[in-house]
Amino acid sequence: MSHPDLNLLVTLDVLLTEGSVARAARRLRLSPSAMSRALARLRETTGDPLLVRAGRGLVPTPRALELRERVGQLVQDAEAVLRPVETLELKRLVRTFTLRNLDGFVENFGPYLIARVGQQAPGVRLRFVLKPDKDNTPLRDGSVDLETGVVGKTTGPEVRAQALFRDRFVGVVRMGHPLCKLTITPALYAAGRHILISRRG
C-alpha cells in the first residue's frame, strides 16, 4: 500500500483558502505551473476536481467544501506538533485545574495551595471535587487533572505518579485507658473495642 504525500495537505489547505491557483502559488512561493501540477495531483489523489471554473474564477466542489475545515485543522495540528516547545509562563497561564481529593487533603493543604497558586499563576483556578472511591477513571478520561491518594497495584502504567508524603495510622484512646500502660501489639490492638467510621454509610 503506497503512502500518500502529506505535503499535499498544505497545498490543499492553501488552495481551498485562496480559491485561486495564482494566489496559492504566490503564498507558497511556487510558479503557477508548479501549483497547477500540484492541483492535478490532488485531484488524482482525492478523486475529485476540488476547484472548478466558474466564469473567470474557481469555485470549490461540495467535496472541497467538506474537506476545507478538516484540512485546515490537520495542518494546524501538524504545525503544533513540529513547533519547538515553548517555555511555560505561569504568570500568563489561564486555566482551571480540577483536583480530586479526600476532604482531609483539602483541609490540610488547600489553603496553602490556593495561596501559592494565586502568587505564581494568578490566572489559574483550582476546582476541588470529592473523591468517593479509588477508581481513577476520571483521571484517565481527562475530567480530572490531578488526584491524590494511595498509589496501589491497580494504578495503570499510563498514570504519572509522584510521591508527596508518607503518613501512618495513629490509635486514639481515652485518658487512662489500660492500653496506655502496655506495649501495643497487633493482638492487643485487635482485642480492643473500636469505633468504626464508614465513608460509605
Mean pLDDT of 44-50: 90
Which tops the pLDDT comparison, 184 or 121? 121
Cα 109–111–116 angle (5° rounding)?
Answer: 95
Which CATH number does the domain 7-82 belong to among 3.40.50.970, 3.40.1440.10, 1.20.1260.10, 1.10.10.10? 1.10.10.10
In contact, 15 and 50? CB cutoff 8 Å: yes
Selected residue with higher pLDDT from 21 and 168: 21
- Domain range 90-147, its CATH number among 3.10.560.10, 3.40.190.10, 3.30.470.10, 1.10.3720.10: 3.40.190.10
Residue 22 is which amino acid? Answer: A
Q: Above 60 in pLDDT, residue 1?
A: no
User: Model pTM greater than 0.75?
Assistant: no
Proportion of the chain in helix, strand, coil states, percent, rounded to 5: 45, 10, 40
pLDDT band at 18 (very low <50, low <70, confident <90, very high): confident
Q: 80-103, pLDDT tens digit by residue?
A: 888 877 788 899 999 999 999 988
